[in-house]
Amino acid sequence: MNENPNNPLHGIKLEMIINSLVEYYGWNELGRLININSFNYEPSVKSSLKFLRKTPWAREKVEKLYLNTFIKKDI
């Protein structure tokens, strides 16, 4: 049933990750924590998704922040 039980992000869409982080931190704090233009200059979910889908290092930082914030505090 669960195809990837070892991946805590399995089944969680990137858009949901961004929306959750924005709701929790707000754009200003999110941009301070992860310094990328799509969080700091005219931020939007759409521009963030576009950037993160083609920039693996930034996506990794966003996913790690999500895990640290909502899933496991010790990652």
The answer to whether position 3 is within a domain reads: no
| pLDDT score recorded for residue 75 | 47
| pLDDT score recorded for residue 31 | 95
State the total domains in the chain. 1
Helices vs strands, H then E, count in the chain: 4, 0
Per residue in 47-67, pLDDT (tens digit) is: 999 999 999 999 999 999 999
The answer to whether position 5 is within a domain reads: no
**Distance between CA atoms of residues 36 and 32, nearest Å:** 9
Domain of residue 52, CATH code: 1.10.720.30
